[in-house]
Structure formats: structure tokens, C-alpha cells
Amino acid sequence: MNEIVIVDYRSEHQPFFEKFNRQWIEELFEMEPVDEWVLSNPEKAILEPGGAILMALYSGVPAGTVGLRKVDEETLEFTKMAVDVAFRKKGIAEAICHASFRKAKQLGATRIILYSNTLNAAAIKLYEKTGFLHVPVENDVYKRANVKMVINTDDAIRRADKYDQQYRMLTI
């Protein structure tokens, strides 16, 4: 049976974190210096400042990832979400979104933001489906960002609960 299990990042996941994200960034855009830094140094860029990284395993194989970068005491940025091309269309992206909502709540966030681009239409559709709302893009964190979205963690948790009841996702 193929099952999706979400686990906390460990240092041996770094090559997968980098590979999965390079796939989509290089397919649609170009790597920016901030991308190179985060993908090469996820512990320093995301974990040490108080964020988290989750890995999705599909039948035990690393298949997807997402980072939650601490912006301030109440806000986490949902960042570097990617699913390996060999594992797309299996529900991994939605599962990892919902798991990230729970992790954000555990980390004390009251809201989650993300930046994207209209060229990544499938991702934006997923974010809308999981409850993110569009807000004006006010900064230049990424040159490619022309979309900003937000969800408060209480709403996110309600959606995650509903998702878990439907799909019985496993989170370790």
C-alpha cells in the first residue's frame, strides 16, 4: 500500500530538499542567490532562526518537502514547497500543506504567508484549495514573486482537521 507519511527534516534530507526545489525553480524561473543559500543551508536558513522543514515520504521514499521560515513571532513563511516529479498527482502536496499548518501552530504562529508567481498556476490553485487568501504583494523577498497569500493558523487547523478525517494522513 502506498501511503504518505510526513516527518520532521533531518540533515540526511538536505539533498532531497535541494533536488525537489531545484526542479521547479529551474523549470519555471532561475535560481536566485536566496534560493542557493536556503537550498544549500536549510538548517541555518530555516531551522536555526526558529522555523521547520517537513518531508513527505511516499511508501518510505522521500517525495516532497516544505519549509516554514520564521518571519516574526507571529508569522511563518510557507516556503520551498516541492514534490519530486516522479511523485506528483498522488496527494502529497496537499498532505504536506495540511501538515505544515499543524507544525506552524506548534511553533506558535498565528498566520502563515507565502509568495508565488502566476506562472506556477497549479501551486496557486492548491494554495487556494487549502485556504490561503490573496493579499497585495508588498515586498521583494523574491524577484519572481507576483503573488502573496495568507492564512491564519486557526482557519488552517480547521482545514487540516477536516482533511485528516477524510484521508487519515499520518504525521510523525
**pLDDT tens-digit readout, 140-151:** 777 889 999 999
In the structure, what pLDDT confidence band is assigned to residue 168 with cuts at 50, 70 and 90?
Answer: low
CA atoms within 13 A on the CB side of 137: 14
What structural domains does the chain harbor? 4-171 (3.40.630.30)
Angstrom distance (rounded) from CA 98 to CA 156: 7
Q: What is the pTM of this model?
A: 0.91
Q: pLDDT tens digits, residue range 62-113?
A: 999 999 999 999 999 999 999 999 999 999 999 999 999 999 999 999 999 9
Q: pLDDT tens digits, residue range 29-65?
A: 999 999 999 999 999 999 999 999 999 999 999 999 9
Task: Decide: helix, strand or coil at residue 146.
Answer: coil
Report how far Cα 37 is from the mean position of its chain's Cα atoms.
17
